[in-house]
Structure formats: C-alpha cells, structure tokens
Amino acid sequence: MATIDKAAQSGPHVAPLKLTRMLHARPETVFEAWTTAEHIKRWFSPEGSIIPEAEVDARVGGVFAFMMLFGAEEHWTRGVFVELTPVTRLVLDLQAFGGDGRLMFRALTEVDFSEAPGGTRVDVVQSFREVDPEIAEAIAAHGGEGWGSTLDKLEAEVAGMVTGGETVQRSAAHATFHLTRTYPAPVERVWRALTVPEHKYKWFGGESQGWEPLERHMDVRVGGAERDKGRWKGGVVSTFDAIYLDIVPHQRLVYSYVMHLDDKKISVSLATMELRAEGGKTTLAVTEQGVFLDGYDDAGSREHGTGFLLDALGASLSD
C-alpha cells in the first residue's frame, strides 16, 4: 500500500471538503462506477462540463486521469490510486490543471463505501495539498457545490446501472429470506407499531434515514392498501405499494407489495409477519418471498434493509 502524506501542503490553506451520499445500489455497483473509465466519463464532472477522455487502471499505483471540457476549454486531471480495497475504499492522489496547463490544485480524495438501508453510503473527503492562490477562494466557496452536482450525476449513473439504462432486459430473479427479532415490549405495543400510522412512521422510513416522505397512507384491513413514497438524498424516488391479504390481530399480517425506483418497477414481494407473545416480550418473525425484475440485482440488499427497519422498530418501542 502506498504511503499517504496528508501533511504535505503548499499554497493557501483550504479546508477539506466532506460529502456523504446515499445511493440505491449494492457497493459492488457503486465501486464499479468509480473504477471504470466508461462510467467515469459519464459522471465524474460537475454540471456544465463533460469528460470525453478518461483512463482508469484500478490498482494501487494505477492511473486515474481524465480530460474535462468546459465549453471549448480543456482541463486535465491526472493522478494515481494510492489505496484500493475492492467495494469498501479507494484513495486517489490527483492533480488538476487549468486550460492553460497550470496546476490549479493537488488533492487527496478518499472515498469509503458502506452498506446502508436500501443501498450504499458513500463518504468523500477531499484534502488539498497544493492550491493555486488565485483559485483557493473559489474552491473554498464553491467546491462543495461542484461535488454536489457531480454526485447527482453519479446517482443517475448508478440508477442506470441498476435498471439497465434504456435497454430493458426482461428477467425475474427469485429470493426468500427469514428474519426474527425479540422485543422487550408486549405484543399489543408491537402490533400498534406495525399497524397504526403515527406509530409505524416512527421507524418505517423518514428523514432520520435520509428519506423525505412525499406520500403516505395506510389502511390496515383485508383488501386495504398502504403507500409510502419518498425521495432519497440525491433525488431517487422510491415507492412502496402494499395490499393487506390476511390479518389476525396481535398474531399475523400477510401482505403483498410492489417497489418502484422512480418509474422503474424493481420487485414484487409477499411478506408474512408473525407475532408471538412471551411474557412481557414479543417475538416477531418475518418471511419475504420476492421476485426482482428486469435486471435489478438485489444481491441481498432487501434482506439487509429489512433487518435495519426491524431494528429501528425495536428502537421506536422505547420512545
């Protein structure tokens, strides 16, 4: 592994830029978007610019370089990978040059990828090691905005990778999982958390999970419907549409649901929740049988996200 000298600094001091973004794809998919030249050309630049040329050799010491066009002006960024741990972390030592070929800045860009509910959390830290005094103020004032629009483009790129872009490849991949949690609460309280809107909304989505509700309603009766539609940070809209099929109060819920990402239907599932009272505690057993549609690669993220929600349910019972 190459040594990273974070202390090296010349020119004016510019505080590190730090950004976090939630993406609705597996870490493997997001990591590929960062380490493949064809993907880099489609997203690794702020709004108003394009990348017609890129070279990426994803290994420690390998090249990471691209030419960015602002109008007719060419800006090159050249660097190397100094750390590379597949699907969890990469570090780039980059030098950015202006249209006149002058070095604008040298920066260490550290990117960490971690599994999160519904996909992958991406944490970016860019630490500046050399900065042209003439652009230092612009980086400090607007660098975050540039990265923000760049990550917006990454969001769109990853969404295209997940859904297959414009070309629809019909497929149906089946999966089943089982999860169990035991909560230190009576069954009546757990049942309320599953079936009463003001109780369910404490744990099922919400801004604390990086999700802004857009449309929410639930009608818990046989034949009743539930919808939870919201926008994740980065712009992707997810929609959960459920129909209740079987209800035995304090004992069982069975429902089917369809998931959309934006306008793309990604899955259809059948979920069963069984509750068992054990003294003052409640055991909740969840079984889901799903079909993932037309190239959507779940790869276990639904099970991981459901586990996270069940833990959030448990936390809400202590409120």
pLDDT of residue 3: 41
pLDDT more than 70, % of the chain:
87
Domain boundary among 134, 163, 192: 163
Instruction: Output the average pLDDT for the chain.
Output: 86
Residues 195 and 291 in one domain: yes
CB 57 within 8 A of CB 75: no
Q: Answer yes or no: is 8 within a domain.
A: no
Same domain membership, residue 255 and residue 139 = no
Retrieve residue 257's tokens: 């649901």
What does the alpha-carbon distance between residue 64 and residue 82 come to, in Å, rounded to a whole number? 10
What's the number of domains the chain is made of? 2
Decide if 208 contacts 232 (C-beta within 8 A). Answer: no
DSSP string, 272-299: EEEEEEETTEEEEEEEEEEEEETT---T
Residue with more model confidence, 43 or 3 = 43
Q: Provide, rounded to the nearest whole percent, the portion of the chain with pLDDT above 90.
A: 52
176 and 159 in a common domain: no
Whole-angstrom Cα distance, residue 270 to residue 287? Answer: 8
What pLDDT is stored for residue 257 in this prediction?
A: 97
pLDDT tens-place string over residues 163-185:
665 444 567 889 999 999 999 99
- pTM for this prediction: 0.55
pLDDT score for 166: 44
Residues 189 and 307 in one domain: yes
Residue 129 pLDDT > 50? yes
* 10 belongs to a structural domain: no
What pLDDT, on a 0 to 100 scale, did the predictor assign at position 143?
A: 63
3: in domain: no
| Alpha carbons 261 and 97: distance in angstroms, whole number | 38
Both 206 and 288 in a single domain?
yes
The separation between the first and the last C-alpha atoms of the chain, rounded to the nearest angstrom, is: 46
In the prediction, which pLDDT does 1 show? Answer: 39
- Domain of residue 102, residue span: 17-163
> Last residue of some domain: 144, 163, 182?
163
Q: Is pLDDT above 60 for 272?
A: yes
Q: Which domain-ending residue is among 115, 138, 163?
A: 163
What confidence score (pLDDT) does residue 269 get? 96
- Residue 240 located in a structural domain: yes
Q: Are residues 154 and 221 in the same domain?
A: no
Quick one: pLDDT at residue 317?
94
- pLDDT higher than threshold 70 for residue 9: no
Are residue 149 and residue 21 in the same domain, yes or no? yes
The stretch 244-255 carries a mean pLDDT of: 98
> For position 6, what pLDDT does the model report?
43
Tell me how far apart the alpha carbons of residues 131 and 110 are, in angstroms, rounded to a whole number. 18
Token pair 């550290």 in the structure block, residue: 110
Q: Are residues 179 and 159 in the same domain?
A: no
> β-strand 89-97 against 73-85: which pairing, if any?
antiparallel
For 276-309, write each residue's pLDDT tens digit.
999 899 999 999 999 988 766 666 778 888 998 9
Give me the pLDDT at residue 277, please. 95
Mean pLDDT of 115-135: 84
Q: Tell me the pLDDT tens digit for each residue of 15-66.
A: 888 998 888 888 899 999 999 999 999 999 988 888 999 999 999 999 999 9
pLDDT at 168: 46
Q: What value, to the nearest 5°, has the Cα angle with vertex 305 and ends 268 and 258?
A: 15
Q: Domain for residue 9, yes or no? A: no
Q: Are residues 157 and 26 in the same domain?
A: yes
**Is 12 part of a structural domain of the chain?**
no
Q: Is pLDDT larger for residue 147 or for residue 272?
A: 272
CATH code for position 223: 3.30.530.20
Residue 2 lies in a domain: no
**Any domain includes 296:** yes
Both 33 and 155 in one domain: the answer is yes
Do 225 and 116 lie in a common domain? no
The answer to which of 2-11, 32-41, 96-105, 173-182 has the lowest mean pLDDT is 2-11
**Which residue do the tokens 């990778």 mark?**
161
pLDDT of 11 strictly over 60: no
**In the β-sheet with 63-70, what is the strand arrangement from edge to edge?**
17-23, 119-131, 103-116, 89-97, 73-85, 63-70, 50-56
Together in a domain, 147 and 252? no
DSSP bridge partners of 65: 55, 78
